[in-house]
Structure 1
Amino acid sequence: MEDNNGLDGDLNANVRCQRTGDPKLDKAVQHWLAWDRNQWTRAQVESLVGAGRVDDLSRRLCSRMSFGTAGLRAPMGAGFNRINDLTVIQSTQGLYSYLCRYFADFSSRGVVVGFDTRGQEESGCSSHRLAKLTAAVLLSRDVPVHLFSSFVPTPYVPYAVKKLRAAAGVMITASHNPKEDNGYKVYWCNGAQIASPHDKEILRCIEEQLEPWSASCWDVGLVDRCSLRTDPLTQINSCYMDELASLCFHRDLNSSSPLKFVHSSFHGVGHAFVQQAFRVFGFPPPIAVPEQKDPDPNFSSVRCPNPEEGESVLELSLLLAERENARVVLATDPDADRLAVAEKSDGCGWKVFTGNEMAALLGWWMFFTWKENHPEPADARSIYMLATTVSSKILQAFARIEGFHFEETLPGFKWIGNRIHELSKTGSRVIFSFEESIGFLCGDTVLDKDGVSSAAVVAEMAAYLHNKNLSLSQQLHNIYQTYGYHVSQTSYVVCNDPPTIQRIFSRIRNFDGSGSYPKTCGGVQIVHVRDVTTGYDSSQPDLRSVLPVSRSSHMITFTLKNGVVATLRTSGTEPKIKYYTEFCAAPGQSEVSTLEEELRKVTTALVDEFLEPEKNSLIRRLV
């Protein structure tokens, strides 16, 4: 063990004097005060001890973060289950140890590190500082680090991992989470987010050596002094924009289009990168929302920095678009990996597209442009589209008619990214992927959702359609006429009590006796049940789910006799139970109001029958 400034296993006298009355908690407090060198977070723990705040201390110090669908993500502040200097150092030590065991050439491949614009004065945390600490841990062990010199979109990190042949990548971001949160997102050497077994093995390595190795781990200045640190920003940005051009098919039309676009970066990283992407596609830069184009860790102009919330958080964008006579609004979330789209409808106000609706448009566009560039007798069987299982089945309807392959994955782009990598090894190509929470990937250059490239592709699609006297909304209607209407609803309930969540799903799994799932929902027969938490699927001959078993969260899908598919699942990043329902109609069936009414009935019954028995512990909130 390297020098730890005298903070050995016995701890020092000042640390030992702190007592809470709980031996386990006392030990956790002692470790924290022995190891933490951040004056703000250390003072937080000292203050809580002094005030006798045992419950708060226990919540902060007696559990650890685990890798969810988006890596490690938690509030910033003191505690082993929060994002702070110490937990980032511990996480990086564990990552280093695992990568050393896995890659014989780790010391030459190195790690990519990026960060967004988040920060918090009261805990001394910022994404930039945490990225420097991540780099410092690796540099202290003579590992090359490709640390971006400025904030970047999250997709730049997995792109750089592949381009630089790095062993792994780390992005410090909490994406669209509230300003109090931050995160630590890890990418594998293939450019996709880590999945099992890597996530569990990294966590095990973290827990094996929680004490910081040396004073060098805390030395943020090391990144400026060490020759093993390189800055990939210029190279990666140039390569990314060069490859982005492969998604542009109508540059001349773009340059002459009269359409105007407004873009909001939601106080995050997206402004300059979306402006540049538009220029690559031949467009003039979109009109930026001035109050939201510059980084602001307080997200001061929005109640939450999540463009998925729709019209209520797009208010400034829509007002600017009205003033500028712009017909399309694009909004990237703070780390620019997701994209919201709204369109001005003649006489009908603004249409804010759901993630499923936007995926129908982008899926159609990506296949349309593929066919344009692969004339007959091109074989569509060589291409794929992917979607997460809680997303719309519209791509499946495309595939059924057009002859390409469609596959579902578990929720989270880590599953999509890793599946794209697997398919690429067989010579297949994935031309479009999405998840319903406005996460889109056009092409396969990046193995994660990408709001920057998606913004440029949407602009080109809108310009092409405008040239044909069609709006995005009109084309969406055309798509549904051809492939069948797909009417969906997504919402959630908030539950901050894990035992209550456990009771809800246990009740569903034992609804009509032990091991018996519900037979009906809203009076409609349930014909199939799939439970990926347990691996059960009644539609399969062996009753085993084709999707991987995922015991870290709950997810149950019901297929009803009337054609509705409904899913209940717990969030990997927030205290929510999410529910997703969709009515998939046959082509030519145009009674949309009937479909919507049937879907509303099932959705209401899903909540009333399966969630409402615990309603006193839930706060319902419609999205």
Structure 2
Amino acid sequence: MAGKADVSVDDVLQEAAAAWLAWDKNPKTSALVKKAVSDGEKEELEKCFGSRMEFGTAGLRAAMGPGVSQMNDLTIIQTTQGFCRYLEKTICDLKERGVAIGYDARAHPASGGSSKRFARLAATAFVTQGIPVYLFSSITPTPFVPYTVTRFNLCAGIMVTASHNPKQDNGYKVYWENGAQIISPHDKGIARAIVENLEPWPQAWDDALIDGSPLLKDPYSSINKDYFLDVQKHCYHRDLNKSTKLKFVHTSVHGVGHEFVQSAFKAFSFSPPFAVPEQKDPDPEFPTVKYPNPEEGKGVLKLSFELADKEGATVILANDPDADRLAVAEKQKSGDWKVFSGNELGALLGWWIFTCWKEKNPDSSEVKNVYMLASTVSSKILRAIAVKEGFHFEETLTGFKWMGNRAKELIDQGKTVLFAFEEAIGYMCCPFVLDKDGVSAAVIAAEMASYLATKNLTLSQQLDAIFNKYGYHISRNSYFLCYDQTTIRNLFDNLRNYDGDSKYPKLCGKFEVTGVRDLTTGFDSNQPDDKAILPTSKSSQMITFTFANGGVATMRTSGTEPKIKYYAELCAAPGNSDYNQLKKELNDLADAIEEHFFQPEKNKLQRKAD
């Protein structure tokens, strides 16, 4: 029986490879598949053809290479053909309005794949169907694509990027006509349409034809101008910026951010920040970092620290490679560098943006129309500020697709959405981009630091002042790497049957569980009918526990990476100055979560590298 099963698997893989080779016109990927077939490399064929990439609310994200499970010319053509057909069915004036397409600087020489190449093939699919395409002529930050969709009233946007993922990865991020990332049911509709349009259209591979087409437009120059004019409207202290003694260092971590953050500083009348020379130019090899993700902390910022110490700079601003995220570090009196967590920077930016709004809008009655948003795994500090200041706070599911769409709904109702953030260093500081934006966040953070310096305050001191006024909110977030879906399923099933069949845990070590919300199954013990209010999804794992000591902890799977993430936060009343005791209790809680909730599968998980 085992032999027959093996033959069957081999036959399926061989057939998949043959079908691939009939359509693939990229000489590098087709050569890789031919070699795998001739050499009988079953493991390689399984990697390429074992399962097709799933199109979801995050679009696509995978390694670049041949086959249906990876990012390459043919899967980009197939994906765009499906997306095009879905748009044709859904939006009647598609051929009048068109779509926007942008790309980062990623490239994969072994398979001939690159973000620019993928973007041009995507543009070709639309242009051959008579649909206008606003294709950027050069690399751009991710937030430029949703901004373009909104600015030109387009039907959709595509950004080819894998953000902060490892160098071999790429992605295909999709925005709807409202300027926000797609959510259900569009993801499912597009996924179906892709499967129905796998065979490349006659001109699918001929990307040269778009260059002379009247349907191809380049928005680079006008968007580059309009975006920074809009950013300027969020500058509140231009005179202070001109004269500030603070010095800033900026790193784009080998990504696209350098010139755009320089432009943002100019728009705010700052002197240019010092750029980390080894990291300022795009380089798809990311040679100076293990992971091109400033969320990883001090390891990614080593060169920034060295440059800042050399130049006497006290604040570091770091973007990820597609410049939609921002990390901030500050030199402390001790000489050490403090890298702010995503939650800490969210607290600072939320406080700052509300403070600026309040100065501009002294009529206190207006505050009832003001909103701020955060994802459910992020700190609840905005809720505490909202309660005291009188504006509205809303929690959404994880990811800016939810915050962007909710922000748009509120704006359409005449509400003012000032700010949204997620703990994974994503910030929407300017609602003309309905997604996280590391460019505008960088310059707004710089203005905040500049203003505080005139009051002889550091960012760290202001964070303490926020906690003293609104209550301490301290968090500890981490993750485990896991590449095995069965292990992941077992871990979460164990939590759902911890104290017997369908019984969630009542204790986590010494910590009493007072509430459970499971957004995979739709259970919420805090609701009268035990049904969760936030949308649920059976395709992802997410359970939140509340504890008697005021702690909240969420465990979830990542939508874009092979990670099981956990988020723990402890809140205390305003004026509670025993920070060290709070920190100890939070660490005890997080340690208990790792020990008791991860334990059954812990030997199969790989801990986050510090």
Structure 2 equivalent of residue 206 of structure 1: 194
Counterpart of 2:107 in structure 1 is: 119
Which residue identity does 2:407 align to in structure 1?
I
Alpha-carbon deviations, 1:286-313, whole Å to 9, x = none?
Answer: 1111111111010111111101111111
Output one character per residue of 1:484-535: Cα deviation in whole Å (capped at 9) or x when no partner.
1111000011111111101111111111121111111122211110001111
Tell me the SS of whatever aligns to 2:432: coil
Let me know the Cα RMSD of the aligned residues: 1.2
Matches within 5 A, 1:93-172: 93-172=81-160
| Per-residue CA distance 1:531-566 (angstroms, 9 max, x = gap) | 011111100111111110122210000000010000
Aligned residue pairs: how many? 604
Distance 1:132 1:383 in 2: 41
1:504 paired with 2:491, answer: yes
Counterpart residue number, 1:274: 261
Deviations 1:88-137 (A, max 9, x none): 00000000010000011111111100000000100001100100000011
Q: Which residue of 1 aligns with 2:543?
A: 556
- Structure 2 residue corresponding to 1:532, chosen from 513, 519, 537: 519
8 Å CA contact 2:14, 2:37 repeated in 1 = no
What letter is aligned with 1:412?
G
The aligned counterpart of 1:182 is 170
The yes-or-no answer on 1:482 pairing with 2:469 is yes
Separation in structure 2 between the aligned mates of residue 521 and residue 540 of structure 1, nearest angstrom: 22
Cα distance, 1:377 vs structure 2: 3.2
Partner of 1:612: 599
**Cα contact 2:102–2:145 (8 A) shared by 1:** yes
Task: Answer whether contact 1:186 1:194 (CA < 8 A) is retained.
Answer: yes
Alignment match of 1:31 (pick from 5, 9, 19): 19
Q: How far has the Cα of 1:20 moved from its partner?
A: 8.1
Q: 1:21 to 1:74 in 2, by over 3 A?
A: closer
Cα distance in 2 for partners of 1:247, 1:142 equals: 38
How far 1:206 sits from its partner (Å)?
0.2
Q: Does residue 409 of structure 2 align to residue 403 of structure 1? A: no
1:457 aligns with 2:444: yes
Shift of 1:247: 0.9
Q: Secondary structure at the match of 1:174?
A: coil
Between the aligned partners of 2:445 and 2:9, the Cα distance in structure 1 is 59
User: Are 1:418 and 2:405 an aligned pair?
Assistant: yes
Work out the CA distance in 1 between the residues paired with 2:496 and 2:36. Answer: 41
Structure 2 residue identity aligned to 1:135: A
Q: What is aligned with 1:438?
A: 425
Match of 1:371 among 334, 349, 358: 358
1: CA distance between counterparts of 2:55 and 2:349?
30
Moved more, 343-352 or 118-127: 343-352
User: 1:583 — aligned with what?
Assistant: 570
Partner SS state of residue 81, structure 2: helix
Map of 2:276 onto structure 1: 289
Question: Residue 84 of structure 1 aligns with which residue?
Answer: 72
Q: CA deviation at 1:411?
A: 0.7
- Which TM-score applies when normalising by structure 1? 0.96
Rounded to whole Å, the distance in 2 between the matches of 1:31 and 1:411 is 38
Aligned to 2:161: 173
Following superposition, the deviation at residue 69 of structure 1 comes to 5.4
Amino acid at match of 1:259: L
1:302-313 paired onto structure 2 within 5 Å = 302-313=289-300
Using the aligned pairs only, state the percent identity.
56
Q: 1:46 maps to which residue?
A: 34
Q: Partner of 2:4 in structure 1?
A: none
Aligned residues of 1:69 and 1:573 also touching (Cα < 8 A): no
Whole-Å separation in 2 of the counterparts to 1:88 and 1:226: 21
Superposed CA offset, 1:447-502 (max 9, x none): 00000000010010000000000000000000000011111000011111111101
Aligned to 2:416: 429
Q: Report the Cα distance in structure 2 between the residues aligned to 1:69 and 1:104, rounded to whole angstroms.
A: 23
Report the equivalent of 1:234. Answer: 221
Partners of 2:57 and 2:184 within 8 A in 1:
no
Q: Secondary structure at the match of 2:110?
A: helix
Distance, in Å, in 2 between the alignment partners of 1:488 and 1:441 is 21
With over 3 angstroms needed to count, the CA separation of the structure-2 counterparts of 1:316 and 1:308, relative to structure 1, is: same
Task: Report how far residue 28 of structure 1 moved.
Answer: 1.2
The answer to whether the Cα contact below 8 Å between 2:57 and 2:187 also exists between their aligned partners in 1 is no
Q: Is the 8 A contact 2:378 2:423 kept in 1?
A: yes
Whole-angstrom CA distance in 2 between matches of 1:31 and 1:48 = 14
Partners of 1:362 and 1:458 within 8 A in 2: yes
Residue 68 of structure 1, CA deviation = 4.5
Task: Give the letter for the 2:51 counterpart.
Answer: S
User: Runs of 5+ in structure 2 lacking a partner?
Assistant: 1-6
SS of equivalent to 2:337: strand
The correspondence for 2:302, drawn from 284, 304, 315, is 315
Alignment of 1:329-340 (within 5 A): 329-340=316-327
CA distance in 2, matches of 1:588, 1:21: 65
* Structure 1 partner of 2:44: 56
